[in-house]
């Protein structure tokens, strides 16, 4: 007789409203019990490096999410996951674009050049333990024509995106080279996220087993 697979019982909240991060969590079999976007000032501190900014914001978002979860009866005892992504050229941090002018400036800066993407991920467990990781990816864009930039701006895929592009969209056609984690560039490094959760006792993989199929 085959034993029934274990199922996940621990609750989990994603401290983000990003549909991209939600889809990535779902990809590895995790369906958050709640989305808890953290409203933070994401401006870099004086002389703060891109990597330190990504790591700091991920942890701050997780802490805000954990505090919110504690105030909701159905989320008490939940794990909280948060992430933040920073795109930079050298030490120059590119904005999360809200206007087409911002996106145009970013695309022209990235055109034909190498850049880096830093994504911090943080997890807080029900007892308040904190764990975090920082993931670096290196990318190079093709040289973009004026027509390509104009067409991408018209798509509005850039809106709200760090560096003015989404690699999982049509801007994937701009990427000549990627060294590092694709999922981190999208917004959530899957290997590191699973490793952090597993290290804190959250067994997401126990729900992966397919149900028995009877003829």
Catalytic site positions: 84
For residue 156, the number of C-alpha atoms closer than 13 Å in the C-beta half-sphere is 1
Any idea what DSSP says for residue 64?
Answer: H
Alpha-carbon distance of 181 to 148, in angstroms, equals: 26
Structure tokens at 98: 């809200």
| DSSP per-residue codes, 65-98 | HHHHHHTSGGGTT-EEEEEEEEEEETTEEPPB--
Pairing of strands 34-35, 12-14: parallel
């Amino acid at each position: 007789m085959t034993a029934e697979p274990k199922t996940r019982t621990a609750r989990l909240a994603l401290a983000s409203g990003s549909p991209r991060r939600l889809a990535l969590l779902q990809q590895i079999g995790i369906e958050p019990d709640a989305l808890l976007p953290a409203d933070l000032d994401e401006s870099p501190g004086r002389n703060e490096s891109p990597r330190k900014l990504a790591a700091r914001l991920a942890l701050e978002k997780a802490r805000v999410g954990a505090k919110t979860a504690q105030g909701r009866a159905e989320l008490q005892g939940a794990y909280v996951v948060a992430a933040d992504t920073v795109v930079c050229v050298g030490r120059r941090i590119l904005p999360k674009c809200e206007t087409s002018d911002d996106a145009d400036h970013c695309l022209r800066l990235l055109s034909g050049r190498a850049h880096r993407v830093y994504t911090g991920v943080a997890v807080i467990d029900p007892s308040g333990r904190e764990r975090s990781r920082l993931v670096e990816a290196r990318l190079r864009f093709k040289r973009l024509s004026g027509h390509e930039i104009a067409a991408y701006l018209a798509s509005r895929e850039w809106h709200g995106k760090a560096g003015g592009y989404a690699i999982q969209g049509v801007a994937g056609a701009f990427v000549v080279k990627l060294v590092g984690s694709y999922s981190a560039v999208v917004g959530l490094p899957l290997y590191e996220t699973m490793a952090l959760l597993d290290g804190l006792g959250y067994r997401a993989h126990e729900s992966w087993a397919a149900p028995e199929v009877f003829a």
